[in-house]
Amino acid sequence: MNSYLKEIADVCEINKPLTFHIARHTFATTITLANGVLIETVSKMLGHKSLKQT
């Protein structure tokens, strides 16, 4: 997965390292929370057992 993300970064000329962890974080913050999705819902989507983890 990380190698595919690095390839995409190269094609898109993104100079930051892209990893699966960064992708999950971006999904949780930029895509869901910024668009009004409840933190409880985001926590479940990420597979966290508690809000503390999220």
Radius of gyration of the chain (CA): 13
Quote the domain boundaries for residue 45: 21-54
**CB-based contact 5:20 (threshold 8 Å):** yes
- For residue 14, CA distances in Å to 9, 18, 23, 39, 40 come to 5, 9, 14, 29, 31
Q: Is residue 25 part of a domain?
A: yes
Q: What is the pLDDT of residue 17?
A: 87
What confidence tens digit (pLDDT) does each residue in 1-54 have?
A: 899 989 999 999 999 888 999 888 889 989 999 999 999 999 999 999 999 988
Residues 6+ apart with CB under 8 A from 33: 39, 42
Question: What is the reported pTM?
Answer: 0.67
**CB-based contact 54:43 (threshold 8 Å):** yes
Q: Is residue 7 part of a domain?
A: no
Number of domains in the chain: 1
